[in-house]
Amino acid sequence: MTPANAITLKDLTLGYRRHPAVHHLSGTFQAGSLTAIVGPNGAGKTTLLKGIVGALKPLSGQITFCGVKRRDIAYLPQQQELERSFPIQVADLVAMGLWRKLGPFRAVTGENLARVHEAIAAVGLSGFGARAIGTLSGGQLQRALFARLLLQDAPVVLLDEPFAAIDARTTADLLNIVHRWHGEKRIIIAVLHDMELVRAHFPESLMLARGPIGWGKSAEVLRPENFLKARAMCEAWHDDDAVCAAENAPEAARA
């Protein structure tokens, strides 16, 4: 990893059916940055992560990757598509994190198997390796998914509400892992709702309310006037909404 790693958003608009969910957002996630994305429900936080991983094409604007590739992103989505009734053990689930390294065929043995067990131990699940994933609690499953992220060893980590419905002790354990990644100069972006947690652990914040409200040092972004602004966001949209003025401008200039 070179220190020049960065993800830059340039006048980025993401959305669904031409309706913007993230509106004219510009800024850079630098290497070694630990950023919390905050904002009310429907503010475009998840949409932004989807845009960064490439699951959603921008309506306008650009996302540029410097030093890292889109495939280098480890992404923990909020709504798990995970089939929990699948008859598979925790160690096998965690070992999926080695996919990039091992591909579809190479066996998980020797050093790699040791890494799987290290990762399981690192998230505090020692002794759970042989348990069926269907028998895990919500918090234990989240620990297992963090173990999988550990093995992915990605320079960019995106977490969507990683601590929702997770108890204090598990949150603290998983935050330790986040800090460890931070120390390794990875780009970490997490969608969060717990402002105390953001203030205590995340040096930078991006407050979204469809459009950007603030992006910078957490202490400066998480101010009462910003929260008021974010709360005033109008969530409704109409089928006959006019085309955004900023979109119109270049066309008008051309005509």
Partner 1 sequence: MSLYDLLIAPFADYAFMQRALVGNIALSASAASIGVFLVIRRMSLMGDAMAHAILPGAAAGYLIAGFSLFAMTLGGLLAGLLVAISSGLVARATPLREDASLASFYLISLSIGVLIVSLEGSNVDLLHLLFGSVLAINQDALVLMASVASVTLVVLALVLRPLVAECLDPGFLHHAGGSGRFVHFAFLCLVVLNFVAGFHALGTLMAVGMMVLAPSAARFWSESLGAQIALSVLFAVTSSIIGLVISWHAAVPSGPAITLTLGIIYAISVLGGPFGGILTGLIRRPHLQS
Q: What residue ranges bind partner 1 (CB under 8 A)?
A: 53, 71, 73-75, 77, 80-83, 85-89, 92-93, 96, 99-100, 104-105, 132, 134-135, 148, 152
CB atoms within 10 A of CB 126: 10
Of 95 and 221, nearer to partner 1 (C-beta) is 95
Measured from the CB atom, the residue of 105 and 225 that comes closer to partner 1 is 105
* Residue 31 beta carbon to partner 1: minimum distance, rounded to whole angstroms: 20
Nearest of 40, 75, 78 to residue 208 by alpha carbon? 40
Minimum CB distance to partner 1, residue 203 (Å): 26
Q: Give least dist CB 131 to partner 1, A.
A: 9
Q: Which two tokens stand for residue 191?
A: 């969608």
d(CA 113, CA 116) in angstroms, rounded, equals: 5
Shortest distance in whole angstroms from residue 150 CB to partner 1: 14
- Alpha-helical (H) ranges within the chain are 45-53, 90-95, 99-102, 110-122, 138-152, 168-183, 195-201, 218-221, 224-231, 245-254
Q: How far is CA 60 from CA 102, 183, 210, in A?
A: 36, 34, 14
184, two tokens: 């390794």
Cβ proximity to partner 1: between 34 and 133 the closer is: 133
Angle in degrees, CA 250, 251, 252, rounded to 5: 90
| Nearest to partner 1 of 18, 217 (CB atom) | 18
Q: How far is the CB of 74 from partner 1 (least distance, A)?
A: 8
Q: Closer CB to partner 1, residue 87 or residue 110?
A: 87
